[in-house]
Amino acid sequence: MGSNGTNAGAAAALSPRLRRGPAAPAELLQFARRASRRIALPLVGAAIVTLLVGYPLLSFLALAVFPHLFGQGGAGAAISLDGFAAALTGYNLRALFNSLWIGAGAAVIGTSIGLWLSWLTSRTSLPGRRLIEAAVWAVLLLPSYFMAVGWQLLLAPGGLIDLPWLSGLMLSAFGVMVVLGLKGIPFAYLTLVAAWQALPEEIDEAGRVHGCRPLTRLRLSLGLLAPGILAAVAMIYAESLSDFGVAATLAAGVNFPLATFAIYAALDTMPLDFSLAAANSWLLLGLVLPAVWLQARVNRRAERYRVVTGRARPPRRRALGRWRGGLHAAGVALVMALALGVPIFAAATISLVVDPSQPVGWGNLSLSHYVDVFRLPEVFGALFYSARLALISALGAILLGLAVTLALMRPSGLTRLLDWGLLTIMALPGLILAAGYIFAFNQAWLPLYGSSTLLVMAYVTGSLPVTSRMLLGPVGQQHRNLHEAAAVHGLSAARRWLRVRLPLLATPLMFAFLLTASHVVFELPASELLYPPGSPPLAVALIAYLHGFNFATEAALQLTAIALVGGAVLLLRFGFDRLVPRGWQRRALEPAR
């Protein structure tokens, strides 16, 4: 009896394990399904970045050491450092050194002006400060070669203004540095304006209580802004090194070589020197990476600069005196005249003048050049072609950017790898990525070179980091309860996307689409290297007219494109406000009305 009781007790104790035994395969299957869903999106994102970035970039950079990779370049040694030897001598070494000190000077200029403008708009009551922010956004959206070409049209021999001292100053290496510094102002401004607004009022009050002079208090404030300042310096330095628009226009016009133009020159010669171009790219990346390292190092030590607490009070605006306010307003007007006024004035004047050899007057003005923009197929065709590519690329960037954003929301090792890939795209000069596309997609098994498809792929890849970063915040703010509630009410996964998730993302998707499309229309590096023969995009046509000394057509086409793109953006924005339901336009975390 006892034995039977013991056996019964043992059986009762083992029965849960016995019951769990048959269910183990089902549990394993459910676990496998959850794991596959968790890594599916990161795998897709990593595959996209590998195809669009990793494969072309590594294939191209490998040519610096393996010049005959995939049968490229004919006979010769399998491994060679001749590309690096050529890159470290003569023209190429001078171009690399020029990029180094020009980038450093542009970073100082752009950060200094951006720091000052952000202080004016966030900490003072200067009248018209909202116009400063609008002008900064205009500088950000306009391509760099627009500014460079404006100075060339204004001061070149036979230009609008005959001032030898000003021409000698701006049509030189100093002018290249100034233009790149002016183009970098928005990066510093947008980085530092939020930092100024977050600096508590107690910091300045403590300085006053301890009798610190105004310059001492300013120095203390700048010390607390060090992460933002160094981030701005790093961004402008990296952007200046990777810029191709100024290198191909103003710098090339004054025979001042820069590294990006040296890469382009190696790819524009016959026969193509891929090995030299790849070696130049390695050296240029070697100059860019320290800036990325500096920013990462500052971010790791950012806790020492944390001064915002629950008791912190927002800073109050300082009223500027009459004379100080006037001096600041004059300085702002001068900066905006140099960054926007000169290019717009030069392009508008050149495009309206009938005979450049005659003085500018009412009898010498005409709209004939603007008529030619719409009348001549080769002129309007470039604008129409870029507009079509911009729409397709913006849609592709939105779809891939949303997929990558969802992948970034899944924490895993693949997600970190994907994030590093996106950061690589942001730090990578666009010309190097475009050069990688020339080689990687010109193989027998993937012959895309010379087609619009490859150009669209390059546009989408260049826009992917910004698009995914713009969507990361709005996607992350969507709580899982929204999707669970929709599932409880019987909505399928597709219906949850169409009726819950996408409506909440309508506004950020619209802004990402407009930003990507307006950027692609004027994109130069990928356009210059990858456009199909006989179908030049807008940026390539503008540079061709400039190099052909057809300044009037170039200026008219440039201003027409800016007007059409600006009008399209305003029209789409107006249509979004009027046609899209109000509930879709409601921003995240905005209280319902």
Q: Give the chain's length.
A: 593
If you average pLDDT over residues 13-25, what whole number do you get?
Answer: 47
Between residues 363 and 4, the one the model is more confident about: 363
Burial 58-93 (b: 16+ CB within 10 A, else e): ebbbbbbbbbbbeebbeeeeeebeebbebbeeeebb
> 590 near 479, Cβ under 8 Å?
no
Q: How confident is the model at residue 16 (pLDDT cuts 50, 70, 90)?
A: very low
Minimum mean pLDDT range among 115-129, 287-301, 576-590: 576-590
> 86 near 92, Cβ under 8 Å?
yes
Q: How far apart are CA 245 and CA 248, in angstroms?
A: 5
pLDDT at 99 over 50: yes
Q: How far apart are CA 36 and CA 254, in angstroms?
A: 57
Q: How confident is the model at residue 20 (pLDDT cuts 50, 70, 90)?
A: very low
pLDDT at 119 over 70: yes
pLDDT at 105 over 80: yes
Q: How far apart are CA 196 and CA 143, in angstroms?
A: 28
Residue 5's SS3 state is helix
Between residues 545 and 359, the one the model is more confident about: 545
Between residues 473 and 278, the one the model is more confident about: 278
pLDDT at 39 over 90: no
If you average pLDDT over residues 459-472, what whole number do you get?
Answer: 80
Between residues 335 and 49, the one the model is more confident about: 335
Tally Cβ neighbours within 10 Å of residue 244. Answer: 28
> 157 near 372, Cβ under 8 Å?
no
Q: How confident is the model at residue 476 (pLDDT cuts 50, 70, 90)?
A: low
CATH code 1.10.3720.10 region(s) in the chain: 42-70+367-588, 86-301
Output the pLDDT for position 187.
Answer: 85
pLDDT at 300 over 60: no
Q: How far apart are CA 152 and CA 484, in angstroms?
A: 60
Q: What is the DSSP string of 299-349?
A: HHTGGGG----TTPPPPPPBPP-HHHHHHHHHHHHHHHIIIIIHHHHHHHH
pLDDT at 317 over 90: no
pLDDT at 5 over 80: no
Q: How far apart are CA 327 and CA 222, in angstroms?
A: 22
Residue 493's SS3 state is helix
Q: How far apart are CA 170 and CA 155, in angstroms?
A: 8
Beta strands in 261-310 (DSSP E): none
Residue 443's SS3 state is strand
pLDDT at 3 over 50: no
Output the pLDDT for position 589.
Answer: 38
Q: How confident is the model at residue 246 (pLDDT cuts 50, 70, 90)?
A: very high
Q: Which of 461, 53, 86 is nearest to 269 (CA)?
A: 86
Phi, psi of 307 (to 5 degrees): -125, 0
pLDDT at 285 over 70: yes
- pTM of the predicted model as reported, rounded to 2 decimal places: 0.78
Q: Residue 73 corresponds to which amino acid?
A: G
If you average pLDDT over residues 60-86, what whole number do you get?
Answer: 76
Residue with tokens 């890939």: 421
Domain range 42-70+367-588, CATH class: mainly alpha
pLDDT at 89 over 80: yes
| The domain over range 86-301 is classified in CATH as 1.10.150.530 | no
**Can you say whether the dihedral through the CA atoms of 382, 384, 385, 389 is positive or negative?**
positive
pLDDT at 309 over 50: no
Structure tokens at 81: 């450092």
Residue with tokens 């009938």: 354
Whole-number average pLDDT of the chain:
77
